[in-house]
Structure formats: structure tokens, C-alpha cells
């Protein structure tokens, strides 16, 4: 773990003829080195769907962390995954993006304090998870207060 990225290394080559370049696309076919282990993880619910991990990781990063990127590498019999800030994007840029999202939420809630998380996400063009994070931050900084229950309550801009 580093200040600007997290790196994972797994000993061994990619399996089943899978090429590194294919993992950057949505059109690769994964295969299992250990079918019994793969099935055990699937049956315990640890795996949602076989062969979609990198697709889901890329989509999640794009939707919720646009200033982060996924880099893959393979060398000397090891496979490396790095998730980190896009070069040239600083923490300040990331914080400004977060501030803009919070400002947009406050603006929307001033117009309609009864907006749901789903509607806030739809109207601001971000994921519900991003809205949840922003709402939590706005509540912690006392810029926003929830009045009443989740269902039937409303937001009060401070």
C-alpha cells in the first residue's frame, strides 16, 4: 500500500492462454486453474459470476472513482494489479470533484428536500454509492441534516 496506489502481486502467469490486453476489454474468456476451489467460492457466495471481476472493477472505478485507474502487468512469472490515482490528478483535484458533487446535492435538495438517494444520483449523474458518501460527509460537516425516517423524511440544508 502506498500514498497514491494499492498494488497486488500474485505469483504465476495468467491461466488458460488469457492475454493481459484482453483484461482491458469486456470480451475475454476466463478459465479456472482450480475448478473445485472456484466452485466452492461460488457456492459460498464469495463469487457472483465467473470471469467478470476485471470488468466489474473497471466499471466501479469509472463510476465511483473517476480519478483512479486500474493497471495490469505481468512479468517474471507474476501478475500485478495496481489501483491508483490517474497520473496528473492530485488529491486537490479529487477533493474539488467531491466538493462539486456536494454543492450539486445541496442545490438539488434546496429545490426539493424530499429527493431520494436514487433521484439525487439520477439528477446529478453519479452513482447512488457516491451520493451516499457525499450525504454522509455533508451530515458530518453539519451542512445537511436528515429530518424524520428514511422513508417519508426529508433533508434540511443548514
Task: Describe the crossing of helices 128-140 and 53-64 by its angle, rounded to 10 degrees.
Answer: 40
- The count of structural domains within the chain is 2
The residue segments making up the domain with residue 126 are: 91-157
Q: What is the mean pLDDT of residues 110-122?
A: 87
Phi, psi (deg, nearest 5) at residue 90: -100, 175
Residue range 31-84, pLDDT digits in tens: 888 889 988 988 998 887 777 888 888 888 888 888 888 888 888 788 888 888
- Check whether residue 45 and residue 104 sit in a common domain: no
- Check whether residue 105 and residue 151 sit in a common domain: yes
- Check whether residue 14 and residue 81 sit in a common domain: yes
Is pLDDT of 125 > 70? Answer: yes
Do 42 and 50 form a contact (C-beta atoms < 8 A)? yes
- Check whether residue 73 and residue 97 sit in a common domain: no
The predicted structure's pLDDT at residue 44: 92
Residue range 93-105, pLDDT digits in tens: 556 667 777 888 8
Do 106 and 143 form a contact (C-beta atoms < 8 A)? yes
Query: Which single residue is written with the C-alpha cell 472505478?
Result: 61
Question: Of 85, 106, 123, which one is at a domain's C-terminal end?
Answer: 85
- Check whether residue 71 and residue 107 sit in a common domain: no
CATH number at residue 103: 1.10.10.10
C-alpha–C-alpha distance, residues 3 and 84, integer Å: 9
User: What residues contact 124, with CB distance under 8 A and at least 6 apart?
Assistant: 101, 104, 105, 108, 131
Specify the pTM: 0.51
Amino acid at each position: 500500500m502506498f500514498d497514491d496506489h494499492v498494488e497486488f502481486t500474485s505469483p504465476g502467469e495468467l491461466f488458460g492462454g488469457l492475454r493481459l490486453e484482453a483484461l482491458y476489454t469486456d470480451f475475454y474468456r476466463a478459465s479456472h486453474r482450480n475448478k473445485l476451489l472456484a466452485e466452492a467460492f461460488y457456492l459460498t457466495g464469495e463469487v457472483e459470476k465467473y470471469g467478470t471481476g476485471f470488468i466489474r472493477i473497471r466499471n466501479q472505478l469509472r463510476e465511483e472513482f473517476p480519478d483512479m485507474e486500474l493497471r495490469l502487468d505481468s512479468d517474471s512469472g507474476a501478475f500485478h494489479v495496481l489501483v491508483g490515482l490517474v497520473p496528473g490528478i492530485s488529491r486537490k483535484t479529487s477533493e474539488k470533484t467531491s466538493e462539486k458533487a456536494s454543492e450539486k446535492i445541496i442545490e438539488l435538495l434546496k429545490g426539493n428536500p424530499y429527493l431520494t438517494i436514487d433521484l439525487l444520483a439520477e439528477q446529478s449523474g453519479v452513482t447512488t454509492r457516491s451520493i451516499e458518501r457525499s450525504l454522509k460527509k455533508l451530515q458530518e460537516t453539519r451542512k445537511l441534516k436528515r429530518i424524520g425516517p428514511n422513508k417519508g423524511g426529508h433533508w434540511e440544508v443548514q
